[in-house]
Amino acid sequence: MISVTYSGNLNHVITDEKWNELHTIHHQLYQKQGAGSEFLGWLDWPSNASESWLGHIQQTAERIREQADVLIVIGIGGSYLGAKAVIEALSPYFQTEKEFEVIFAGQHVNGAYLKQLMQYVEGRDVALNVISKSGTTTEPALAFRFLQQYMTDRYGSEAAERIYVTTDANKGALLDLAKQKGYQRFVVPDDVGGRYSVLTAVGLLPIAAAGFDIKALVQGAHAAENELSDLSKDNPAIQYAALRHHLYEEGFTNEVLATFEPALSYVQEWWKQLYGESEGKEQKGIFPVSVTYTTDLHSLGQYIQDGKRNLFETFMILDEADDDLDVFEATDDADQLNYLAGTSLHDFNLVAYEGTSQAHLSGGVPQVAIRLPKLDEYHLGYFLYFFMLSCAYSAYQLDINPFDQPGVEAYKTNIFKLLKKPGFES
């Protein structure tokens, strides 16, 4: 379903030594014996997702769509990027009559954003889904403080009917608050970390509320779970991980994820979080960056072609475009584009990919390509699972625990000290 290709020779990358290493990692993963293995719940999540559980999420989403015109989803990092990535990838670029809208908040701290959001939704019915596994993250907690008050001011005691909380089953300030106020709750499983949680209620409730088919999304991920679990040199998840590690060891310590599809820009953001937060530890890891072409060929393209030679490029190529335009023949050809007549804009991009990839390769940038057959729920579910699985292999090759994020505590502690949060004064 997904294919991975490389500008070099893949057989030279997966040497006997590398294969033995991948063999060990495969067993660590599937026998749940590697570092952080208590967070491997996502690995067989798609095959464990029951019809009734998916049905419950779907029904809640339908209820939200009946009671509201706008769902505000509050969360940060893994508690927002998965849903945002899927919704952006599948939504039309322009919607004049928005019947139902999903808007994100709490992914940053910004007074103007929150104030204008509250003004923007005035006159339309609103529901809230606040998502935080720990239930204590400052950014979403702050946004929720304002938005919960907004809901109470607007709906009085009925606000509780419109607020949905996704958090840990047993602990956290958000859980206590949800119980106290009687908000409907969804669980972030203990054994699934934020950036691996897109197929749990964290991602599925907002995605279903946005009107997308969560069953197809999970079915796609289920197919990936089955097809990518083989220990095989033809397994694209293993190939991608092996390539990344090989290139890293050759000194290519930055990976540029490139796409010609603006719709995939939040899949890129999700990917950056997944790989950056999973691998960047102990002074190791590939730094993940992203570009959208051809837009960025007119900016970062210069650096990629000619700048410091420590980066490789991974293209996400969409084989089939659902919606497209063919260039037509103009009678006067004043713009001198008639040579393109009959070519679709998607075909133009496929050619632009070839040309760009060859140019960057000749500039010393190794090239990886991942081909996605189609952009729909099923294929996206497959794709996201592919990236999560490959990320686990990648981090284990670096001897890194893919499932913790100790480094994100340092900035928080400083902010708390500066703001004199009780317990942090000294």
Q: Which stretch binds ligand PA5 (CB under 6 A): 33-41, 112-120, 189-197, 223-231?
A: 189-197
Residue choice 34, 46, 189, 193 for contact with ligand PA5 (CB under 6 A)? 193
Tell me the backbone φ, ψ of residue 42, rounded to 5 degrees: -70, -20
The tokens for 271 are 């990917």
Instruction: Name which of residues 390 to 409 contact ligand PA5 (CB under 6 A).
Output: 405
Query: Distance between CA atoms of 105 and 121, rounded to whole angstroms?
Result: 13
106 with 142: CB under 8 angstroms?
A: yes
- Residue 132 touches ligand PA5, criterion: CB under 6 A: yes
Residue choice 140, 203, 206, 236 for contact with ligand PA5 (CB under 6 A)? 140
- Number of chain positions touching ligand PA5 (CB under 6 A): 14
129 with 56: CB under 8 angstroms?
A: no
- Residue 288 touches ligand PA5, criterion: CB under 6 A: no
Write down the least CB distance from residue 390 to ligand PA5, Å: 16
Instruction: Name which of residues 260 to 279 contact ligand PA5 (CB under 6 A).
Output: 277
For ligand PA5, give the closer residue by CB, 271 or 378.
Answer: 271
The catalytic residue positions are 277, 412
For ligand PA5, give the closer residue by CB, 124 or 171.
Answer: 171
Q: What is the CA radius of gyration of the chain?
A: 23
| Cis, bond preceding 294 (omega within 30 deg of 0) | yes
Alpha helix (H) residue ranges in 93-194:
111-120, 138-155, 173-181
Write down the least CB distance from residue 59 to ligand PA5, Å: 24
Closest by CA to 85, choosing from 248, 220, 204, 172, is 204
Q: Which stretch binds ligand PA5 (CB under 6 A): 30-38, 76-84, 263-271, 330-338?
A: 76-84
SS3 297: helix
Angle between helices 111-120 and 138-155 (to 10 degrees): 30
Residue choice 34, 46, 77, 236 for contact with ligand PA5 (CB under 6 A)? 77
Q: Which stretch binds ligand PA5 (CB under 6 A): 77-85, 179-187, 317-325, 330-338?
A: 77-85
For ligand PA5, give the closer residue by CB, 114 or 304.
Answer: 114
Q: What would the DSSP string read from start to end of 1-29?
A: --EEEESS-HHHHS-HHHHHHHHHHHHHH
- Residue 194 touches ligand PA5, criterion: CB under 6 A: yes
- For residue 363, how many C-alpha atoms fall within 13 Å in the half-sphere facing its CB? 21
Q: Which stretch binds ligand PA5 (CB under 6 A): 3-11, 58-66, 188-196, 208-216?
A: 188-196
Residue 369: which residues within 8 A CB-CB, separation 6 or more? 4, 5, 6, 314, 315, 317, 357
For ligand PA5, give the closer residue by CB, 58 or 138.
Answer: 138
For ligand PA5, give the closer residue by CB, 325 or 415.
Answer: 415
Residue choice 133, 246, 360, 379 for contact with ligand PA5 (CB under 6 A)? 133
Query: Distance between CA atoms of 204 and 57, rounded to whole angstroms?
Result: 7
Tell me the backbone φ, ψ of residue 240, rounded to 5 degrees: -65, -45
Residue choice 79, 129, 265, 367 for contact with ligand PA5 (CB under 6 A)? 79
Write down the least CB distance from residue 164 to ligand PA5, Å: 15
Residue 145 CB neighbours (<10 A): 11
Closest by CA to 408, choosing from 105, 76, 75, is 76
- Residue 76 touches ligand PA5, criterion: CB under 6 A: yes
Write down the least CB distance from residue 126 to ligand PA5, Å: 21
Instruction: Name which of residues 312 to 371 contact ligand PA5 (CB under 6 A).
Output: none
Q: What would the DSSP string read from start to end of 395-418?
A: HHHTT--TT--GGGHHHHHHHHHH
Write down the least CB distance from residue 183 to ligand PA5, Å: 16
Residue nearest to ligand PA5 (CB): 194
Residues engaged in binding ligand PA5 (CB under 6 A) = 76-79, 132-134, 137, 140, 193-195, 277, 405
